[in-house]
Amino acid sequence: MNKFSVVIAGGGSTYTPGIVTMLLDNLDQFPIRKLKLYDNDEERQRVIGEALEIVLRENAPEIEYAFTTDPDEAFTDVDFCFAHIRTGKYKMRELDEKIPLKHGVVGQETCGPGGIAYGMRSIGDMIELIDIMEKYSPDCWMLNYSNPAAIVAEACRVLRPKAKVLNICDMPVGTLRRMSQIIGKQPKDLDVRYFGLNHFGWWTSIKDKEGHEYLPEIRDYVAKHGYLTQVEVDTQHMDQSWQETHKKAKDLLAVDPRFLPNTYLKYYFYPDYVVEHSDIHYTRANEVIDGREKEVFSAAERIVEKGTAKNESFSAGSHATFIVDLARAIAYNTHERMVMIVENNGAIANFDDDAMVEVPCIVGTDGPEPLSQGKIPEFERALMYQQVTVEKLVVKAYVEGSYQKLWQALTLSKTVPSAKVAKALLDDLIEANKEYWPELH
């Protein structure tokens, strides 16, 4: 069996220890010869890097390991780059959430104005990362989680169309885990049909390998409880705000009971509810800073202090499982069926070819082959067209440095009530993002 060299970009991320744990648990299925962590924040990289050095020494000393802020060292001789960077870190996520709320608008990491602001920050860093990867390891695949995935994927399509970058999201996998629990199955027992954009989609079928359709059964459950399950199925998406989001899925289902909704539709269908239930002084960014970030970094510091990782563990949720499964699918041509973000090109028959959509794909050595999802109904299609146009306008605004196009993107977002509010918001976001956005004129 070939052994692979992997670099994790955003090596100081709260998700890095979980992904490394998952890699170590699966060395028999995905053997690794080299593992490197790369971050542009030396201090974050040091804490996570030193702790994982101990984890590796104790569990897989045969793997060559390094953590670095040097792109040359990080990207030389790598087969896979797992990327999850956050341009502007949590300081900027907090502003993405709080600035819109000040204007009475949804404040969210990837949806609405917060996602647009984050997109304008992420594009430059992602393109730079792809260029570094191609310079040092031209055959490397990048499996990219960095958000906002929809805008990042559109930017890759426009700016680096030939790059070996696969944009992915853990939400369809996480929700499928919940659905499996509801019907007493394992996610791997089920094949789904799904259509949409990232953080904006619907399941149209959930079948077992014998072809039994579970959608009606799951729908009956979701109509009562949303995706809240009896037994916890994941270590991720568990905080209080997520429990409310899983529950709210029942109101999303009510809007179109034919299909099972992605939880993120809550920000588009019920923005008034979301704003009413938000606390401008304590948003999701604060919840993560006080929760996951503290837990992960304190565990890492304890490991370094004690010099051992015994009695410490990092949780590896569906996020980590998915990226390792995807790497395996490419490495070993497994033809696993996975929901991915890809250029439409007919997968959704009555939607634009050049839209980045989220659909099931068969994944092998050449990457994803999208499965045809047929024609979609007018309600979902119209919503998707509005949203995908927002995403395209953001990328155009970035490329052209266009104030006008970004104002249009904000005006078009279903979360923003008027062009007046959009303009006021845009001016605040420009001020907050001076360090990161290109100049707009």
As a whole number of angstroms, the distance between CA 26 and CA 20 comes to: 10
Total residues binding ligand LMR (CB under 6 A): 3
Q: How far is CA 237 from the centre of its chain?
A: 12
Residue with Cβ nearer ligand NAD (203 or 407): 203
Q: By C-beta, is 28 or 43 nearer to ligand NAD?
A: 43
CA–CA separation, 178 and 246 (whole Å): 10
Q: Which is nearer to ligand LMR, 13 or 181 (CB)?
A: 13
Distance CA 219, CA 270 (A): 20
Q: Which two tokens stand for residue 366?
A: 């050449």
Q: Are 167 and 149 in contact (CB under 8 A)?
A: yes
- For the CB of residue 84, give the shortest distance to ligand LMR in the complex, in Å: 10
Which one of residues 9, 99, 165, 265 is an interface residue with ligand NAD (CB under 6 A)?
9
In the chain, what's the furthest Cα-to-Cα distance? 60
Q: How far apart are CA 17 and CA 402, in angstroms?
A: 39
Closer residue to ligand NAD (CB): 13 or 315 = 13
Distances (CA, A) of 69 to 9, 130, 178, 366: 10, 16, 38, 30
Let me know: does 300 contact 50? Beta carbons within 8 Å. Answer: yes
Cα–Cα distance, 148 to 167 (Å, whole number): 10
User: Which of 8, 55, 288, 340: binder of ligand LMR (CB under 6 A)?
Assistant: 288
CB 101, min distance to ligand LMR, A? 15
User: Is 125 one of the binding residues for ligand NAD (CB under 6 A)?
Assistant: yes
Smallest gap from Cβ 288 to ligand NAD, in A, equals 6
Cα(373)–Cα(233) distance, rounded to whole angstroms?
Answer: 28
CB of 286 to ligand NAD, least distance (A): 13
Cα 254 to chain centroid, rounded: 26
User: Of the ranges 10-18, 269-277, 385-393, 410-418, which one interacts with ligand NAD (CB under 6 A)?
Assistant: 10-18
Q: Which of residues 11-30 bind ligand NAD (CB under 6 A)?
A: 12-15
Q: Which of 109, 234, 325, 380 binds ligand LMR (CB under 6 A)?
A: 109
Strand duo 80-83 + 200-208: pairing: unpaired
Check: CB of residue 340 under 8 Å from CB of residue 359.
yes
Question: Nearer Cβ to ligand LMR, position 319 or 392?
Answer: 319
* Complex with ligand LMR: residue 23 or 171, whichever CB lies closer: 171
Contact call for residue 85 and ligand NAD (CB under 6 A): yes
Question: Which amino acid is located at 112 in the chain?
Answer: G
Tokens 């959608």 map to which residue? 215
**Among ligand NAD, ligand LMR, none, what binds residue 284 when CB lies within 5 to 8 Å by partner kind?**
ligand LMR
Question: Nearer to ligand NAD by C-beta: 89 or 250?
Answer: 89
CA count, 13 A, side-chain hemisphere, 178 = 28
| Residue 239 touches ligand NAD, criterion: CB under 6 A | no
Minimum Å gap between C-beta 257 and ligand NAD is 26
Position 284 contacts ligand LMR (CB under 6 A): yes
Residues tagged active-site: 170, 264
Least Å from the CB of residue 236 to ligand NAD: 8
**Residue type, position 192, single letter:** V
User: Both tokens of residue 94?
Assistant: 């907090």
Q: Which helix (H) or strand (E) holds 408?
A: helix 403-412
Residue type present at position 276: E
Q: Determine, following the binding rule CB under 6 A, whether residue 147 of this chain makes contact with ligand NAD.
A: yes
Q: Segment contacting ligand NAD (CB under 6 A): 34-42, 55-63, 323-331, 405-413?
A: 34-42
Residues at the contact surface with ligand NAD, assessed by CB under 6 A: 9-10, 12-15, 38-41, 44, 84-87, 89-90, 125, 145-147, 149, 169-171, 319
Residues at the contact surface with ligand LMR, assessed by CB under 6 A: 109, 284, 288
